A and B are shown apart, each in its own frame.
Chain A
């Protein structure tokens, strides 16, 4: 479903991705673990075409992202939901309007239908009583939930998560992780989760990989990764609460 071959990306003299390759199968959820600044978010942004790689191939559902024109990029993006680290809710719109906006613009859904659908997905993530609030009136966890609902409402085949639990308390983190797992099972979504939260990765992912020196140095199930003799990998599994 998502294939990345030899991806290179540098910012000035700083090389971030150094030949990264990754293959995520349909219906699978893959977590990318790694320290801050190792290029996890950069990888996600290359997949949706927000960043242009220096070299390498990226395909989503057999469509090339890196060489595609605007139309094919548009088609790819319609298949993808993206949960940003900060939530990135449009702060000039209410929570419901955030969802309606995505639906009505490109998914040919009528406004009244979009409003009902938005309410349904907000209820699904536990925000049924907050649909007409402004994003600034929500807590960090609620904003993440609303952002998840916004990503889900377009019924994507793929969901990309950039640090879904960063900045949240352990209880809310676990709730968000459970919610992600539940949504993936319910809607058969393929996912890539970028995180350094091993508990989150444990709940949501089928497989995971550790990003180090610009490549996925180790991949496997979390149990397999836990047995790897590498100080950095061990660091993730140390004291996971």
Chain B
């Protein structure tokens, strides 16, 4: 437990440094572009499958219950609100954390144990600015886009269920979906993904920098990054939901 709070303390200090370093040149544009591709485009196939399945499963699970109360027509609205407000951002963040956070932890961790981070420092390159800042920026930008894409696919999945099982048309489905959504559903849903993107990259980088003791240390960094990032995503989500309720309802 003490170790956990030590990590929280160190991670907070490590994260706060970002807000100072991000404004100091040189700006690592090519590094940022590379990480954006890794975080964003390479997560696309995984997010596509997860997004579609999320909508399919949610619609399949809730359809019989709604049908029992004669409220089947509310299914598009229910799926859209659930996906956009909560499931889309959280599930996408958790899935991407599994792929990206562990990858960052392992990558920076192996650089740490093979003295590549020291080599950067000796070459007068600030390792934080070179390794952490571009990754975190990529996370902040890529995750909202991935989430929007996953939300869209989730809604498509729900439409597929409604179309196959009930013969609901595209126009009716979309009208029902769009009229049910308000700005108070969309803004908090997207806003929280900026925080999640920050957490995914920052936690991976932090555990990578902390890695020590050879390949075992690299493995530990990767595992701890996923566990910690997932935990923080859920805690942050809880806090942001509360904030969203206070602000928008």
Stretch from A20-28, A75-83, A112-120, A206-214 contacting the other chain: A75-83
Residues of A within 8 A of B115 (CB): 84-86, 88
Residues of A within 8 A of B124 (CB): 74, 77-78, 105-106
For residue B168, CB closer than 8 A to chain A, the reply is: no
Q: Check if B116 sits within 8 Å of A48, measured CB to CB.
A: no
A90 to B130, CA, bound (A): 13
Q: Check if B123 sits within 8 Å of A102, measured CB to CB.
A: yes
For residue A69, CB closer than 8 A to chain B, the reply is: no
A80 to B119, CA, bound (A): 12
Q: Check if B116 sits within 8 Å of A90, measured CB to CB.
A: yes
Residues of B within 8 A of A89 (CB): 116, 119
Whole-angstrom distance between the Cβ of A93 and the nearest chain B Cβ: 10
For residue A230, CB closer than 8 A to chain B, the reply is: no
Whole-angstrom distance between the Cβ of B235 and the nearest chain A Cβ: 32
A16 to B127, CA, bound (A): 26
Q: Mark B112-148, 1 if CB is under 8 A from A, else 0.
A: 0011101111111100000000000000000000000
A101 to B124, CA, bound (A): 11
Q: Check if A88 sits within 8 Å of B118, measured CB to CB.
A: yes
For residue A91, CB closer than 8 A to chain B, the reply is: yes
A84 to B114, CA, bound (A): 9
Please indicate which of the listed interface residues A74, A77, A78, A88 has the most CB atoms of chain B within 10 Å of its own CB.
Answer: A88
Report which of B26, B110, B119, B125 forms a contact with A82, defined as CB distance below 8 A: B119
Q: Mark B82-124, 1 if CB is under 8 A from A, else 0.
A: 0000000000000000000000000000110011101111111
A84 to B115, CA, bound (A): 7
Residues of A within 8 A of B118 (CB): 45, 50, 84, 88
Whole-angstrom distance between the Cβ of B167 and the nearest chain A Cβ: 53
Q: Check if A90 sits within 8 Å of B122, measured CB to CB.
A: no
| Minimum CB distance partner of B126 in chain A | A70
Q: Which residues of A are interface residues toward B (Cβ below 8 A)? A: 45, 48, 50, 74, 77-78, 80, 82, 84-86, 88-91, 101-102, 105-106
Q: Check if A50 sits within 8 Å of B122, measured CB to CB.
A: yes
Whole-angstrom distance between the Cβ of A70 and the nearest chain B Cβ: 9
Residues of B within 8 A of A88 (CB): 114-116, 118-119
Residues of A within 8 A of B116 (CB): 88-91
A234 to B214, CA, bound (A): 33
Residues of A within 8 A of B110 (CB): 91
Whole-angstrom distance between the Cβ of B238 and the nearest chain A Cβ: 37
A45 to B122, CA, bound (A): 9
A89 to B115, CA, bound (A): 9
Question: Can you name 15 extra interface pairs (CB under 8 A) apart from A88-B118, A91-B111?
Answer: A45-B118, A48-B122, A50-B121, A74-B124, A77-B122, A77-B123, A78-B124, A84-B115, A84-B119, A88-B115, A90-B111, A91-B116, A101-B123, A105-B123, A106-B125
| Minimum CB distance partner of B121 in chain A | A50
Residues of B within 8 A of A85 (CB): 115
A98 to B120, CA, bound (A): 11
Q: Given A86-B114, A88-B114: A105 and B125 within 8 A (CB)?
A: yes
Interface residues of B in 15-35 (CB under 8 A from A): 26
Q: Check if B119 sits within 8 Å of A90, measured CB to CB.
A: yes
A207 to B41, CA, bound (A): 56
Whole-angstrom distance between the Cβ of A97 and the nearest chain B Cβ: 12
Residues of A within 8 A of B122 (CB): 48, 50, 77, 80, 82
8 A-B pairs with the lowest CB-CB distances in the bound complex, closest first: A88-B115, A88-B119, A84-B115, A82-B122, A77-B124, A74-B124, A88-B116, A102-B123
- A-B contact list, 6 entries, CB within 8 Å: A85-B115, A88-B116, A89-B119, A90-B120, A91-B111, A91-B114
| Minimum CB distance partner of B116 in chain A | A88
Residues of A within 8 A of B114 (CB): 86, 88, 91
Residues of B within 8 A of A77 (CB): 122-124
Whole-angstrom distance between the Cβ of B132 and the nearest chain A Cβ: 15
Residues of A within 8 A of B26 (CB): 105
Residues of A within 8 A of B121 (CB): 50
Whole-angstrom distance between the Cβ of B152 and the nearest chain A Cβ: 33
Whole-angstrom distance between the Cβ of B139 and the nearest chain A Cβ: 19
| Minimum CB distance partner of B117 in chain A | A88
Whole-angstrom distance between the Cβ of B118 and the nearest chain A Cβ: 6
Residues of A within 8 A of B120 (CB): 90
Residues of B within 8 A of A50 (CB): 118, 121-122
Whole-angstrom distance between the Cβ of B131 and the nearest chain A Cβ: 11
| Minimum CB distance partner of A154 in chain B | B123
